[in-house]
Structure 1
Amino acid sequence: MLYALICTDKPHSVELRQKTREEHLNFLNGLGDRLKGAGPFMCDDLVSPTGSLVIIEAANRDEALAVANEDPYALAGLFESVEIRPWNWVLKNPEM
């Protein structure tokens, strides 16, 4: 099953995001084939990130939550909220 991790940064946290970015990227790359896609949400000015979208494969919601909680961004306290939603990849899914 695929899950979307919809993460919203705390206000005024760009510095914390930048400081933790390399660890975050290493963590995501370490997920291997379980990671289906990821990237930041941006402000309307397209300069400042405001959160993250991470699509992962997990056996269930608890496993997806564990991945979300292990993310270095989460451990650093970057996120104001994390929403975990089951996601069905219908269009342009390379595995179909």
Structure 2
Amino acid sequence: MLFAFICTDKPGHLNVRMETRPAHVEHLNKLNAEGTLKIAGPFLDADGKPCGSLVIVKADSIEAAQAIADADPYTKAGLFETVEVKPYNWVFNNPEA
């Protein structure tokens, strides 16, 4: 099953995002190599600067998806104000459909 992580950065935390980005990308590369990661990228503010993230993963349960979200270096660094983990149904342009 797929799960979407809808993450909102804490205001004024762009420096935390940038400092933690190498570890975050390494984490996503590992998930990608395992076949767990499906989509990932930042939300952008009006100035084109990152202000949140959308990550979609494949997991067996919402608990397993939450554990993946909790393991993200951005989460561990305290970047996010909120992280929603929601079941997701990829209908259009899903390469696995």
- TM-score by structure 1 length? 0.97
Correspondence for 1:43: 45
Q: Distance in 1 between matches of 2:10 and 2:39?
A: 22
Correspondence for 1:19: 19
Q: Distance in 1 between matches of 2:68 and 2:36?
A: 10
Count of residue pairs brought into register by the alignment: 95
SS in 2 for 1:53: strand
Correspondence for 1:82: 83
Unaligned 5+ residue runs, structure 1?
Answer: none
2:68 corresponds to 1:67: yes
Unaligned 5+ residue runs, structure 2?
Answer: none
Correspondence for 2:6: 6
Q: Distance in 2 between matches of 1:25 and 1:89?
A: 23
- TM-score by structure 2 length? 0.96
SS in 2 for 1:59: coil
Q: Distance in 2 between matches of 1:66 and 1:75?
A: 12
How large is the Cα RMSD of the aligned pairs? 0.6
Q: Distance in 2 between matches of 1:27 and 1:7?
A: 16
SS in 2 for 1:38: strand
Q: Distance in 2 between matches of 1:14 and 1:44?
A: 14
Q: Which letter maps to 1:62? A: E
